Structure 1
Amino acid sequence: MPETTTDPADRALRATTAVFAVALFVHAGDHFWRGLNVCSALVNALGTLQLLFAVLTIVLVFRGHSAAPLAATIVGFASAAGFIVVHILPDWFGPLSDSFINAPPQARVTGFSWFAALFEIGADIAIGIAGLYALRARRTIPAPVS
């Protein structure tokens, strides 16, 4: 059972994680709508791995686990970097790319695809920052005096 806390850093981490979960769902929905066959096997495998780590992070945060801030920081910033490489940069990375820049028609990239990717990247950065905030808050809390 998670602890109830009034700590602003923990509240911010939980709120940001809720937005992160919605962004994850929206971005995954875009991939299902576009079709899983429009991405390379490498992009699909890395996306699945990211999804698993993201879900684990969400569970850790809402269970109040002590590793949650670190997981949020690592998963948030790593995911943002990954999505920028895969979706935002031009198709420079071959099988590691599902670039939305000058995407071919068979990629089925729409305005919603752009929204979903940018929403995910923004939420990734936000959860990374919230994780750092929670880590810092935990470091500055004085230890109880016995």
Structure 2
Amino acid sequence: MTETSPEQTLRVTAAVFTVALLVHGADHMRRGMDATSALVNTLGTLQLLFALFTVLLVFRGHREGARAAVFIGFASAAGFTIVHLLPDWFGPLSDSFINASPSAGVTGFSWFAALFEITADIAIAIAGLRVLRSRQMSVA
């Protein structure tokens, strides 16, 4: 049996991460962009751009792809947790699914999409860390 290299794992994880981005984005489109504040929409758009750039770096085999994966993965996981999974303590920075109003359109799919995204965020960050660690070990 052949062991999967950290770079291969990162590429597979980046593919799953891309699917999670699309699923989460689809939920936002389903709910309507007016279900979230302008701040959440702006930050979400910036996250999406950085995430897609990271995926591009990973699939092109760019040396900084792993570092970008660590950054966007952990930053996204923290951001989505704050925005969706904590109570509405953050005002315009919140799209809390906890006790969401009916007008927010939060469904089981919303929960699935957010948790899938957060899990994929953590996975790509860990995969990026594995690549960075393997590079350090090969230098030593």
Question: What TM-score does the superposition give when structure 2 sets the normalisation length?
Answer: 0.96
Give a deviation string over 1:86-124, Cα, whole Å, max 9, x none. Answer: 000000000000000000011000000000000000000
**Which residue identity is paired with 1:82?**
G
Q: Paired residue for 2:44, among 34, 40, 47? A: 47
Identity percentage of aligned residues:
66
Q: Displacement of 1:7 after TM fit?
A: 6.5
Q: Displacement of 1:44 after TM fit?
A: 0.2
- Which structure 1 residue ranges, 5 or more long, are not aligned? 1-5
- Root mean square deviation, CA, Å: 1.2
Q: For the residues of structure 1 that align with 2:17 and 2:135, how far apart are their CA atoms?
A: 22
Q: Paired residue for 1:28, among 11, 25, 30? A: 25
Q: Displacement of 1:63 after TM fit?
A: 0.1
Which structure has the larger Rg? 1
Q: Paired residue for 1:59, among 56, 60, 66? A: 56
Where does 1:49-88 land on structure 2 (aligned, <5 Å)? Answer: 49-88=46-85
- Which structure 2 residue ranges, 5 or more long, are not aligned? none
Q: Displacement of 1:142 after TM fit?
A: 3.5
**4+ residue runs of structure 1 moved beyond 3 angstroms?**
none
Question: What TM-score does the superposition give when structure 1 sets the normalisation length?
Answer: 0.92
